[in-house]
Amino acid sequence: MQDALYRRMGGSERVAVQFRLTAAARALTLAGIRSRHPDYDEQRARMALARVLLGDALARKVWPGRPLVEP
């Protein structure tokens, strides 16, 4: 049923759905990080999210010299 609904949508509608789903997934991941680490400030929580999204190697390249934050 979901596939049928997606097929009926136009391209821009499908893109909008994808953006909403991606935003929801990021919000849930960030909520999980905050739940596990209530002591994290906003910056540390975002750095932990970046580590999850980018992986360790890319996070180190983007922010060289900064320690990795535990997600």
Average confidence score pLDDT of the chain: 93
Three-class SS of residue 49? helix
Model confidence, pTM: 0.79
Query: Do 48 and 70 meet the contact criterion of CB atoms below 8 Å apart?
Result: yes
Residue 29 lies inside a defined structural domain of this protein? yes
Residue 23 lies in a domain: yes
**68 in a structural domain:** no
Task: Give the C-alpha distances (Å, rounded to integers) separating 45 from 8, 15, 34.
Answer: 38, 27, 7
Which candidate, 71, 50, 45, 46, places its Cα nearest to that of 61? 50
Residue 26 has pLDDT above 80, yes or no: yes
Q: Is residue 58 part of a domain?
A: yes
Residue 26 lies in a domain: yes
Asked if residue 27 belongs to a domain, the reply is yes
- What is the residue range of 10's domain? 2-62
